[in-house]
Structure 1
Amino acid sequence: MKASSVQQAFKSLTSRIHPQLPLSERESQRLLNALTSSFRSQLDHHDVSASTSASCLPSPSPSPSHSTQQQLLSSSSATDRHLASILTNPLLTKPVHQQLKAKSKHPVALFEDQVAAGRATLNSARLCLDAFRNSLSVLSPAQTKDQISRYAAGTRALRWLWTSASTPSLSFTLDARFCNHLAFFLIHEGRESALWELIDTPVPTSANLSSREASRRKGLLLNSMVRTHLSAPDHALASALSAFFRALDTSHLSHASTSHAGSYLIQNLVKLTISSASDVTLYDQFVDAIPRWNRKHPDRAVYRIANLKLHHPTTPSADFALDFIRELKPLAAHPFLSPSTNSQKSTVFSFFFNTVKLLQKQNRFDDALWVMEFMQQKFPEQFKPPNSSTASQPFSQSAETASSHLIFPEWKVPEFG
């Protein structure tokens, strides 16, 4: 008997580690018998409960036919309730990702089923929105617009969010993929105002949610809005910057609310091809606004302005970059000179190389040599001239022959990651 219980416990443990194998014919019959027995006992329980509650109520004694009818109705409703509880049990339904993989139902319809059954979660919502958005990638712009309007996935997801107790804290923004999908669909459904309603609604703070964290979550939602505008086929810079400026001008939003979107805009502005005069004006307005959302980090503001000036669409300038580097030169240590992650290293070295590249292009060779000498001094392992003769000769001694371009090492931006 003891051995049997140990064997049963071991079997239970291994079933958690390894997927359960298909049941044999005998095991299937035993499971069916157990379910049948459970089903009958449930019906008997409901019958007893119904008859007991009925006997406790004072009422005129019904006729035999009326009593029989009541029992039948009671049994019928009990059966319906029990069947519903079985059919909606999560153990008897396929996971959302399996149903999406099988493509047995439209992702938005599947999400609505999850909501109706009370089983919708942030994970299942993200999976459904992700599948729907992926299905749009093969459609024409007109077809995409029609599908987005027809299924209103963003509106449905938002309606579900407002019924969730966690929505007032904006905890859903911590799921970046879901947040990006929500912003994408709502904006394309013409409901961007609903996103602003979420941002403008005060978030109740508590011991577990500081005001700074609440502002950061608002910023994550703003960042998703900016991403959606910039991901449009025509790179809607005006819409993206309009959203950012609106948040910047809102008095109740803090630095934490705009820093994510501001950083994302800087990363993309240096890559975009900007040609229209209106977009150039917006570019300049964004550069001028950088100190407003970097008050706590003035050094960071100087660097960001210098970087955008290097990539200005019409009048690029390296002067701001040179001023920033000159401020760094006498310092023994500075976060910008101590990049730790691959992403930070790529950012720092790209900034130096872009500065040198522009200085060379503008025939400012003395300044270019000075920056390269600074780079070799601060990062000797990463920036070694390719030949020994150049390495043994200080750059400053060769400044007079800089215009020949012969003394410029053929350095490349190091590869990271």
Structure 2
Amino acid sequence: MQAAAARRTLSSLASKIHPQLPLTPRESQQLLNLLTTSFRSHLDREYPSGPSEAPPASTSTQLVKVEKSRRLPSSYDSASEHIDSILSNPLFARKPSRRVSDLAAASALNDPFAWFLDQAAIGTADIPKAALCLDLLPRSQNTTKGRRGSLSNSDRRPASMIAEWLRTSGRETSKEFLISQLSTKGAPRRNLVNRLVPLLLFEGNHAPLWRWYAYEPEEGDMLNQAQLSPFKCQLLKEMINAARTRDEAFAIFQHAFQLAEAGKRNAYVKSLQVAGARLVDMIVSDPQVPCTPEFYEQFALSTRGWLFAWKPVVQAMLCLCNPTEPDPQPALKIIKNADSFLASTHSKPSRQRFLVRMCLGAAQQLIKEEKLADAQIAMQFTKEHFEDLVLIKYHSSVPHQMNRGVPEKKKIQEEQRNIALLDGFLAT
């Protein structure tokens, strides 16, 4: 009896020293309010806000703005923002399902976004699961109304939520996220950033993309600039590919170019070359896509900072594709002095095709301007140096049975006929 009484006494004393955590929602809310009030009071004591005296009535509007800018921020607002950022984290913003499991395939298929939030809430989310969520998301149906933890269509921003999870969990600076893994065939796998870029642009959330692009490893980090270069190249190129308009693509590239000019040029020049080449290809393949002339001019001027030996050819092509005033003269100048450019195209078929396209585009524009002599120079240059690209050829890879009925004399006649048609076009 004495032992039982002693245990009850100790239990009562322990409950007073270490009371149980509140179990009801009302008690939980009271505890949260108490912690919030205590935290704000501590901030008010440590960082008191400055006086905010109202300016006299005679003060001008400009002085009012200056006075407001000098006031210290309220500790109440700082505390509120800090607490909101904590509570909006997936670890706290969502109550996980008690039956959540890695084997719950049905949950992932029915609502992959809710499944991933459950994984984040219990601390088992990782980068492969985030990639799986984004892969399954287009195939999944809308979240069932009334389901526990379901989100309305206006609140479902999966890419932004996953980007925030990457930030708060520290994984956005991890090797797993920044280094592209190779597949069994040796090609880079389509990693998480490829999936996130178009969705983040669609959601209008550019901040995570630029935070990743501007990330600089500190001394002692396991990663260096050389290892990060492929990630930045891939990220900026995907942003250009996912741009919804030509103007948006120009704006994205211009922002990256400004970052490079702000003292970090060497770290970003490779990514500018990759993304810039992609943007040039888009312009050349479809120059009729509408865009703002000022944005186009800014991009054309930026080539001075990220192109080197091939810069004059690209600039001449951009002059040809100008949306308001196509100019063939830079291309014609290159054609008349093309020895240095021809040497750099022998081992690069892509450059050969680009140069041929520039020459044909210049000839076409010169004909529109009724400068037929200059157009003939451009066509003659193309025929002399890139005959295999502009004339029809019979290749030895064609089966012998298909070539049996085509005598050699007919092949020569066909080739001569093509050249005569080309010459006739020039004569007109």
TM over 0.5: yes
- Of the candidates 279, 294, 306, which is equivalent to residue 293 of structure 1? 306
Q: Helix, strand or coil for the counterpart of 1:316?
A: coil
Counterpart of 1:303?
Answer: 313
Q: Are 2:379 and 1:379 equivalent residues in the alignment?
A: no
Q: Is the 8 A contact 1:226 1:241 kept in 2?
A: yes
Q: Are 2:385 and 1:367 equivalent residues in the alignment?
A: no
Counterpart of 1:197?
Answer: 211
- Of the candidates 358, 365, 371, which is equivalent to residue 358 of structure 1? 365
| Distance change >3 Å, CA 402–CA 183, structure 1 → 2 | closer
Higher helix share: 1
Cα distance in structure 2, aligned partners of 1:188 and 1:147: 17
Cα distance in structure 2, aligned partners of 1:136 and 1:361: 53
Q: Is the 8 A contact 2:331 2:362 kept in 1?
A: yes
Q: Are 2:328 and 1:322 equivalent residues in the alignment?
A: no
Cα distance in structure 2, aligned partners of 1:127 and 1:268: 30
Counterpart of 1:36?
Answer: none
Cα distance in structure 2, aligned partners of 1:281 and 1:374: 33
Q: Helix, strand or coil for the counterpart of 1:299?
A: coil
Q: Helix, strand or coil for the counterpart of 2:389?
A: coil
- Of the candidates 217, 227, 232, which is equivalent to residue 241 of structure 2? 227
| Distance change >3 Å, CA 221–CA 375, structure 1 → 2 | same
Q: Is the 8 A contact 1:108 1:128 kept in 2?
A: yes
Counterpart of 2:131?
Answer: 126
Per-residue deviation, 1:188: 4.1
Cα distance in structure 2, aligned partners of 1:136 and 1:358: 51
Amino acid at match of 1:124: K
Q: Helix, strand or coil for the counterpart of 1:381?
A: helix
Counterpart of 1:155?
Answer: 160
Cα distance in structure 2, aligned partners of 1:148 and 1:180: 23
- Count of aligned pairs: 300
| Distance change >3 Å, CA 361–CA 208, structure 1 → 2 | farther
| Distance change >3 Å, CA 273–CA 391, structure 1 → 2 | closer
Cα distance in structure 2, aligned partners of 1:236 and 1:151: 24
Counterpart of 2:248?
Answer: 236
Per-residue deviation, 1:250: 3.0
Cα distance in structure 2, aligned partners of 1:344 and 1:206: 41
Per-residue deviation, 1:206: 7.7
- Of the candidates 204, 210, 214, which is equivalent to residue 228 of structure 2? 214
Amino acid at match of 1:153: P
Cα distance in structure 2, aligned partners of 1:168 and 1:366: 60
Per-residue deviation, 1:205: 7.2
Alignment of 1:155-174 (within 5 A): 155-162=160-167, 163-165=169-171, 167-169=173-175, 171-172=177-178, 174=180
Q: Is the 8 A contact 1:172 1:178 kept in 2?
A: no
Gaps of 5+ in 1: 1-60, 67-86, 138-145, 406-417
Q: Is the 8 A contact 1:180 1:225 kept in 2?
A: no
Per-residue deviation, 1:350: 3.1
Cα distance in structure 2, aligned partners of 1:239 and 1:330: 33
What is the root-mean-square deviation of aligned Cα atoms in Å? 4.4
Please report the TM-score for the alignment, with normalisation by the length of structure 1: 0.57
Q: Is the 8 A contact 2:198 2:239 kept in 1?
A: yes
Alignment of 1:38-57 (within 5 A): none
Counterpart of 1:410?
Answer: none
- Of the candidates 98, 101, 113, which is equivalent to residue 118 of structure 2? 113
Q: Helix, strand or coil for the counterpart of 2:322?
A: coil
Q: Are 2:277 and 1:263 equivalent residues in the alignment?
A: yes
Gaps of 5+ in 2: 9-98, 143-150, 181-188, 393-412
Cα distance in structure 2, aligned partners of 1:330 and 1:350: 18
Q: Is the 8 A contact 1:223 1:264 kept in 2?
A: yes
Q: Is the 8 A contact 1:226 1:261 kept in 2?
A: yes
Please report the TM-score for the alignment, with normalisation by the length of structure 2: 0.56
Cα distance in structure 2, aligned partners of 1:322 and 1:193: 43
